[in-house]
Each structure stands twice: as C-alpha cells, then as structure tokens.
A and B are shown apart, each in its own frame.
Chain A
C-alpha cells in the first residue's frame, strides 16, 4: 500500500477503527470492507473531512455472493480535489437486505439505489421513492440475483438445445 492509501486508511480508522473489516488495494485501488451499521456516518465523515473531501459519488451497485449468502453494496467515491478514489463494500444478509439510504448526502444516489433495489431487492430505508426503475412495475422477482435465469422462460421460438443450454 503506498502512502496516499495509508493516509486515507488512517483517516478512516481514526474514527471508525472497530467497523473496518479489512483494507485491500487490488489493482492499486483502495477497497475498504466495512460493517453495515455505520456506513452513512462513514460516508458523511469522508464528505465533510477537511483533507479527504470525498464529495463525488462515482457509482453504487449491488453484488450477489450466493456462496456466502450475502448481497454486498459497493460504493465508489472520488475526491476531485486530491484525485483520490476509494471503494467501500458492505455485506448484507440475503434474506434481509436492508440498509439506510445515501440520498441525504448525495442526490446522485437516488436512482442508483432504485436500480440496486430493482435488481437485487435491497431495501434502502429513508429513500424518498423506492420503486422499480428499469424493469416493469409488476415484476415480483429480483432478476440480477444468481438464482434467476437470464432468458424469459415462457418463450417458445428459441429452443434451448440449439443454443447449447
């Protein structure tokens, strides 16, 4: 880990030492695995911190790990002033994926959380308008979860055996 990564990790550990599960730098990109309870406090702390200033939300998405029965939420922040990037991942249990919303800190999180809800079924408490955004409104499954198939099972014109499935 080079000095800027250590500096950022130090800033985080200053206040949230007990919540950090692990710190890694795959492909030279600082990744923090964090406990899910205080995630909004962490992001707000990084937003307001006078040195770090992570005031740009690059992206947020969900990741389903069926083996560990967990759904992760990945937040990627960018500090434009220092040109630092950081990735924070929290892990939620599959059956009860609930986490607070980030819309009070970043307005950009509004539709990103709706998309994550649409695909994985993660409920963001406090979100102003949590409903499906990309799929049809009356869909009952969460399609990006690994157990759901890609194809529409009711189609008759494409025979699976001809496509090697």
Chain B
C-alpha cells in the first residue's frame, strides 16, 4: 500500500515538477559545485547538492610535505583571503613547537590578517550586488583590491596565493613603500566604501531583493556548525578573535556586528560592518606598533637564517641545510589551533609523530560545514533568492572541497 502511494507521488512529481541542474559551471564568480533542483514553476521544492569537483586531496598531500611546504597548500583553500590561512597554519606549528613570538610580529600579522579579511569581504559583498544587477560596486571596489594586492607584493612578492611569512615571523620587515601604500589605502578606501554603501544599503530594490532571502534561525545555524559572518548574521556573536584570542587581538578595541534574522541582507550588512571594524583595527595596530625583531629568534630549527650568516657562519649553514631538506626534529603531539578566517572558524588539527611531515593534518573548513545547510535554507524559495543566498554565504570552492 505504501509502495503505491510512493509511486503515485513520484508520478505526480514527474508531471508537475521540473528539474533544473544548477550545474557545476557557474558564471565565473562562485566556484564549482552542483545543485539539482526540483522546482514547481519557480519555487524550489527540493535540492540535492554535489560537491567534490575540485577535490585536490590537501589532507593526503600534507602528509607528504615538511611543515613549511604546507603553507602554499593552505593558501589555496580560501584563496580570497590567503594570508589568514597562512598565518593560522604558522601559528599552529608555533603552538606545536612552543615558540614565543615577539609583539611586533603579532601586530604585523594582525595588520595583514585584517587586510585579507577586507579583501575577502569585498569580493563577497560586491558579488552580492552583482547578482542583484548592480555591477558598479564590483568595478569600483576591485581597484582597492588591486591596492591590497600591491601591499602584499611589497611584503611577500605574490598577489593572490601569498605564502606570506614564515614559521616564527616574517621573512622581511615591511618596507617604506608598503607603509606608504597602506596609508594610501586607509585614506582612500573609506570614501569608496561609503559610496558603495550609499548605493545599496538603503536602496529600495536591493532591500526588497535581499531581506527575507534564505533565512536561517540561530539555533538551527548553531546545530549546523555555522561560524563567521553567516552565524553572526543570525544574532550569535561568536568570533574566534574574541573568544580565544590569538596574536594579540586582545589588545585591540573593536565590536562584533551581529544581525537579526540571518537572511541575505543581514549577511551583507555584517560583512560591511566588519570591513569598517577591520580598518579600525589596522589603524590601532599601526599606531601602537612596537619596535623589535620581525621574527622570533627562538626557532632556529624552522626559521631560515639570514643569507649573510649562511655564507659566513658554519652553524647557520647547517641550520639552513637542515631546514630546506626538511630534516628538523619536531616534537610529538596533537594540537588544534583556530583563527577567524573570512568565513568563520578555520581550524588546523595537527598530529605530529616526530617525523619531518605531519602524521595527520585535518582542516576544519567553515565553508564545507555551513554549505550543508544550503538545501534547507532555499526550500520553498524562488530561484532568484536561491542564487542570492548562495552568493551571500560566500562559498569558496577551494575551501569546500580541499
């Protein structure tokens, strides 16, 4: 009897409902993941996501590489804010070996991480505007992302996949050009961001499109393991920088913006406000920047010695050789460290068995965890709301699949 009921249900479904494949190839911005939608006209009844189209086996790959060679891998997870991943990984290794990092390095790291956060939120917010049809913000604000890229280039040489810093600090101190560009950024960016905000924040069309699109309740979001701006948009003020402060975040004064309903408008506004807060943090860090070394002198086993010493000093030569060949001794242990990435709590669970490569490295990727809730969030919504929800959740394919 139950079988017949199911058969008739399917027959009804086949006649009434249509299937739309929101396939892996999206317009350039979002990344590759697939959703097969069962729709009744333009309302979504059910959706089935498929991911793994860019699975690059990071966790298996990191079992093969010495610790400093894993940094380029972490870059490619959330590639919109690569420095945060790099610095988070370096902090995990520093926790494992028990290294103490000088204050100046910590403040410089904070500056870089907040710049990366601004860079990530810029992409997400301008793309939300693009998906509602407003392309102007994208074109104007990408100029400032170019400025951020120029700042990264002065510090580490690369634009996007930065591989910034080393285990123990930075490879070189920020030079004058970097400081000049940073000042230029802090002077010109607020104006442009304000212009963008004025275009969309109280715009009738934008508000009608985004308010009520893809909402999620706070309790459900917590059960799904949401973190980051997506969780803060539902009203829960969980931010790893405040809950488990790392790299001297407790010295800075900033607020955590939260939303009310957890819909697209709230996610947009939370990211917008976080950009303002990030600029505040950068200004405070520049003001209070202490003097000191730009690397920790207590980790000779991991931090490459300066070239002049390598050519003149026997000990430095030996350290250089051992580090590059990856023959340094690492303590055994299990450590977990998390940082506040662009999308939430980015965690690194590292098990070391004393060898030159990790025994097991697991990345707690926020995108992977909160994307599960997408099917629930768009049930019963229109297809255009589903697109907006996806872009407002800032799903980065590299972090989703790893």
Binding site for B on A (CB under 8 A): 26-27, 29, 31, 55-59, 61, 63-64, 74, 76, 80, 83, 85, 87, 106-108, 110-112, 115, 119, 132-136, 143-144, 150
Contact = CB atoms under 8 A, between A and B. Distances in A.
Contacts of A112: 369
B342 to A, nearest CB: 18
Given A63-B351, A111-B369, A58 B55 contact: no
A31 B349 CA distance: 13
A106 B225 contact: yes
A150 B57 CA distance: 8
A33 to B, nearest CB: 11
A144 B60 contact: yes
B52 A143 contact: no
Contact of A144 (B59, B224, B351, B371): B59
Given A27-B334, A63-B360, A83-B244, A134 B55 contact: yes
Nearest to B220: A107
B222 interface: yes
A107 B243 contact: no
Given A76-B349, A143-B57, A108 B333 contact: no
A59 B59 contact: no
B248 interface: no
A29 B336 contact: yes
A78 to B, nearest CB: 9
Contact of A143 (B60, B224, B351): B60
A61 B59 CA distance: 11
Nearest to A109: B225
A58 B347 contact: yes
Contacts of B371: 111
A86 to B, nearest CB: 11
B370 to A, nearest CB: 8
11 contacts: A58-B338, A58-B364, A59-B349, A61-B349, A76-B336, A80-B222, A87-B334, A107-B224, A110-B372, A111-B368, A150-B64
Closest 8 CB pairs of A and B: A108-B225, A134-B52, A59-B364, A61-B362, A134-B55, A111-B372, A27-B335, A107-B223
A135 B369 contact: no
Given A27-B333, A143-B57, A150-B61, A56 B222 contact: yes
Nearest to A55: B222
A80 B63 CA distance: 32
B95 interface: yes
Nearest to B345: A58
A60 B165 CA distance: 29
Nearest to A114: B372
A109 B349 CA distance: 17
B401 interface: yes
A30 B212 CA distance: 41
Contacts of B368: 111, 115
Nearest to A145: B60
B51 interface: yes
Contacts of B57: 143, 150
Nearest to B370: A108
A107 B55 contact: no
A56 B225 contact: yes
Interface in B220-267: 220, 222-225, 236, 238, 243-244
Contact of A134 (B51, B225, B372): B51
Contacts of A80: 222, 236, 238, 243
Given A26-B334, A110-B372, A134-B401, A58 B225 contact: yes
B373 interface: yes
A61 B372 CA distance: 16
A163 to B, nearest CB: 11
Chain A CB count within 10 A is highest, among B51, B225, B372, for: B225
Given A76-B364, A107-B220, 15 more contacts: A27-B333, A27-B335, A27-B336, A29-B335, A29-B336, A58-B364, A59-B364, A76-B347, A108-B224, A111-B371, A134-B52, A143-B57, A143-B60, A150-B61, A150-B63
A108 B372 contact: yes
